[in-house]
Chains A and B, each alone.
Chain A
Amino acid sequence: MTARQPAERWSSWQAMDSGRLLLFAAAGMLTVAAVAHTATVHIGLAAVHVAVAFGILIALGELLRLALPGGREAAPIATAGAMAYALLLYVKELPAPGLSLPYSASALQVIAVAAIGMTIGALPHMAAGRSVGVTGMASRLVAVSCVAFIFRSLTGFHLIIDQWWLAASVMTVLLVFGCLIDAVVGALIRADDLRARFGVALWDELRVQWPLALAVGASAMIIVFATESMGLPGLAVFVAPLLVTQLAFRRYAGIRSTYLQTVRALARVTEVGGYVESGHSHRVSVLAVAVGRELGMTEPDLLDLEYAALMHDIGQLALRDPIPGGATVLVSRGDQQRIAELGADVIAKAGVLDRVAELVRCQSLPARGYDPAPPVGSRIIRAANAFDDLVGGSTDRDRRTAALERLRLDTSSEYDAGVVEALSEVAGRRRSSRL
């Protein structure tokens, strides 16, 4: 148990990890430099009304944030507005009809406007006591800054400004680039927060973000080109398609989280019925997900694993009398298998959770000696369930160590050695943190 040292040192003083610190420093420096430069060098903003209009759009977008699956947060309208401001080519001037003037704000001005707009938009969130979401804002600002620096240095080439298709191609490339930056930063932060592998985190991030990124990118281009023909008053019109998208995503994310909450809640019926110890399902699911993440599972697999772990004891409902203490680790192999089968049947009845049912069905199989071997999720649930049955909600160090020793001794047949190693890693970490 010597390898536990780094984990012990981890949680107490480092409330903010290095990756996040770096991100904040970068965003903060960009903001300060941009605001200072815009305020002093230019003595004021170039084309003030354009800056103000986009600032308002960005602030509104930041106000209308969107929760995405997996506890993520996005601000599609703010991102589209900021990207569009970075990519702006011409603005139709209303006082002088017929004229579309080239827009020539510096990259630093773009960053300043985006930063100020985001900050203003975040204030109501702060006032309402919601999380300010500084990390998300910083990540968006860094992405916008990269795009702005590159594109603003390209606007000197007349070829690009005068051919819309050339401009559109350059914009597409830059928007993809911007989204990638956002995803990489987001993945770095998540990998740090959740102790996931970076590659897996990046893959998850891209899979969740790409549909929205597509809509945001298209909307940014809509804003750029429509501002050229309609001028600023049309800004409200330009975001209409994106509003529809956002509405749809909100409902999607809403049902996803309701789903998870419901399974979490209903998994507790086994506790209320006295079949298992209070909090057992929840603890097993938290432990199983942490182990799965340690082993590099992707988010959809982790969701299946979480559902299966929450409902792994649901088969006990069919038992006439509860097992004493609900500890399935102590009952015979045959009973374990019967409970697993019954539970899997219940879940399979839903017709949409077949993979979850399979995980629950195989949880009673020993890790070795079966062909085909049970899926890794089942092996994780088996080990996590045994660990929790032996330890319960106790945080006693000796008891945990003893339980881990017992699991380790059984790795020749019962438990997967890799899973048990990951479990002891996670359990060690957990002991030193507040859980």
Chain B
Amino acid sequence: MGKVSRAARLYIAAVVVAAVVLIALMPPGDRDVRWWIKLGVLQLLFLICDSTPTPLASRQSAWSPSSSATLAAVVLLGPVGAALVGAISVLSLRRHLILAERLFNGAMYAVSGYAAGRAYLALGGIAGTPVPRYFPGIIWPFAAAAAAHVITNHGLLWGALRLARKERGLGDRSRLESSLTLLLASDLGYAVLGLLIAALWTVVGAFAAVLVLVPLFVARWAMGQFAEQQQAYAATMEALCQAVETKDFYTRGHSERVSRGSGMIAREIGMRPDRVDAISYAGMLHDVGKLGVPTKVLQKTGALTEEDYAAIQLHPMRGLEIVREIGFLDEALTGIMHHHERIDGKGYPMGLAADEIPEFARVIAVADAFDSMTSTRSYRQARGIREAVEELRRGSGSQFDPALVDAFIAVLDREGWRLPEPAAAPLDHQTVTAQDHDDPTAPLRVIESL
């Protein structure tokens, strides 16, 4: 409890007292054994849903339809039943919750359930197992109940987040911060499921809970598989990129760091999560085509002939050739192909300028140059971050997109940068790049032939 501030404690206490009072002050109605059994089943359903969230849209927002149990209870049991179903979240099986969070969650769901139940009754809904003639009459009271549940729930949660903003999360912070449409969609989903459970209860009783849970558990299983595959995918990609880099002693880890840097910039300028993922992959793969550049060109210490330079200029296209068949990479492809274009139009392979250059390519260009400057090369030691930032500033507007340079500097200030391990001297048999095509401070020297 040490983490919770005084104001937050008061707030939680107030909500808990409200919940207890609402439940305790209800007149003892005609509740028989069947009522209590229904309550038990719905509480169990709530707990199962609550402890097995299904991550659906993005990594942050999980979809756990526990509110559906509360909303079904609104119809099947009435306000007090709904409050009791919500209150069970105190016993949530999610282990990382601290006591204050548990108490608050339980009280919050209880109050929301009660409010929903009241709204339902106020608009003429009838509490109790519905018989077919209730439908479709109870749809509107039920919609009102769902709305009341959403408003109370988010209102209370919002208050808690306001108080807890400076501390570590209380309740599901990410739920409020994810987009509004997603929030509405998931709330609509909870309501629909709740209604479905109530409707099924008419015919098959508690078996309704089982029927509804099966597709949801299958969905959860599939999402688990998805997450597993996604991790395996990222790891495999990284391993393969490292294999490509083994060809060159000094550029080890370059792909991984450019991927990280591109991701940082992308998040900073507010790209959607799926595009951030894509640009991270693009950063990882941006130099894959370098494998097509003959080793002797990479190792050359003197000035390059025009053929050599042409071979280097070709590497984005070779990279494109390799990764073109990866279906998801549509936008990433443009990033890989154009990552050596310059804002002033003097880059390669196409000589695009300013806004003609795809956004992905402009982002990767910044991260690429920065990592090149902060790593050791055969002809120089690694530069410090400050020095590299100065260099980025100098190139801003001519080589780099100024807005992206600013974004990168901002995110560097905030999050810092993990520099590569200082490179030991290469062993004899290892290939060494003599000139780095990514390094803006040491442009490639090309013999001008007439």
- A residues contacting B by CB (< 8 A) are 92, 94, 97-100, 164-165, 168, 211-212, 214-215, 217-219, 221-222, 225-226, 228-231, 233-234, 237-238, 240-242, 244-245, 247-249, 251-252, 254-259, 261-266, 268-269, 272-274, 311, 314, 317-318, 320-321, 346-347, 349-353
Contact = CB atoms under 8 A, between A and B. Distances in A.
Given A100-B132, A245-B222, A269-B322, A229 B203 contact: yes
Given A320-B429, A351-B235, A255 B219 contact: no
A242 B237 CA distance: 33
A241 B192 CA distance: 9
B318 interface: yes
Interchain residue pairs A-B with the least CB separation, the first 5: A218-B214, A98-B133, A241-B215, A350-B239, A248-B222
Contacts of A214: 214, 218
A230 B203 CA distance: 10
A234 B130 CA distance: 15
B324 interface: yes
Given A168-B204, A228-B203, A257 B327 contact: yes
A273 B294 CA distance: 8
Interface string B135-155: 110000000000000000000
A272 to B, nearest CB: 5
Nearest to A221: B211
Given A218-B215, A259-B236, 8 more contacts: A241-B212, A248-B226, A249-B219, A258-B328, A259-B233, A262-B237, A264-B325, A268-B322
B239 A94 contact: no
B193 interface: yes
B203 A273 contact: no
B243 interface: yes
Of B229, B295, B325, chain A has the most CB atoms within 10 Å of the CB of B229
A243 to B, nearest CB: 9
B431 to A, nearest CB: 6
Contacts of B327: 257-258, 261
A317 B243 contact: yes
Contacts of A353: 232, 236
Nearest to A258: B328
A349 B223 CA distance: 25
A349 B239 contact: yes
B48 to A, nearest CB: 14
B322 A266 contact: yes
Interface string B196-217: 1001101110011001101110
Given A231-B136, A255-B230, A346-B240, A244 B215 contact: yes
A269 B236 contact: no
Given A211-B218, A244-B219, A350-B235, A222 B200 contact: yes
Contact of B54 (A94, A248, A321): A248
Given A211-B222, A272-B292, A247 B56 contact: yes
19 contacts: A164-B207, A165-B204, A211-B218, A226-B199, A238-B196, A240-B192, A244-B56, A244-B216, A251-B222, A258-B233, A261-B326, A262-B233, A262-B237, A269-B243, A273-B247, A314-B243, A317-B291, A318-B243, A350-B239
A101 to B, nearest CB: 11
Contact of B323 (A254, A259, A265, A318): A265
B211 A218 contact: yes
Nearest to B243: A346
A97 B132 CA distance: 8
**Chain A interface secondary structure, helix, strand, loop or mixed?**
helix
Given A215-B218, A222-B211, A272 B321 contact: yes
B178 interface: no
A332 to B, nearest CB: 18
A272 B196 contact: no
Nearest to A316: B243
A331 B209 CA distance: 65
A97 B326 contact: no
A422 to B, nearest CB: 28
Nearest to B55: A248
B354 interface: no
A238 B233 CA distance: 35
Nearest to B321: A272
B54 A244 contact: yes
Nearest to A92: B132
B192 A237 contact: yes
Contacts of B240: 263, 266, 269, 311, 314, 346, 350
A326 B192 CA distance: 61
A255 B289 contact: no
Given A244-B63, A255-B226, A269-B291, A229 B199 contact: yes
Find the residue from B133, B199, B247 having the highest chain A CB count within 10 A.
B199
Contacts of B324: 265
Contacts of A99: 132
A372 B294 CA distance: 41
A145 to B, nearest CB: 24
Contacts of A346: 239-240, 242-243, 246
A244 B215 CA distance: 8
B369 interface: no
A36 to B, nearest CB: 35
A346 B431 CA distance: 18
Interface string B287-321: 01101101100000000000000000000001001
A317 B199 contact: no
Contacts of B321: 272
A256 B229 contact: yes
Contact of B242 (A219, A249, A262, A349): A349
Contacts of A248: 54, 56, 218-220, 222-223, 226
B381 interface: no
A245 B219 CA distance: 4
Contacts of A98: 131-133
Contacts of A255: 226, 229-230, 233
Nearest to A319: B247
Nearest to A254: B328
Contacts of A94: 136
Contacts of A258: 233, 326-328
Contacts of A237: 192, 195-196, 199
A249 B243 contact: no
B335 to A, nearest CB: 15
B244 interface: yes
B189 interface: yes
Nearest to B281: A262
Contacts of B208: 225
B243 A259 contact: no
A320 B288 CA distance: 17
A173 to B, nearest CB: 16
A97 B233 CA distance: 55
A259 B211 contact: no
Contacts of B133: 97-98
B322 A272 contact: yes
Interface in B217-272: 218-223, 225-226, 229-233, 235-240, 242-244, 246-247
B229 A252 contact: yes
Contacts of A350: 232, 235-236, 238-240
A287 to B, nearest CB: 19
Contacts of A254: 328
Nearest to A257: B327
A314 B295 CA distance: 17
A265 B192 CA distance: 43
A259 B218 contact: no
Nearest to A315: B243
Contact of B132 (A212, A229, A347): A229
A222 B196 contact: yes
Contacts of B200: 222, 225-226, 229
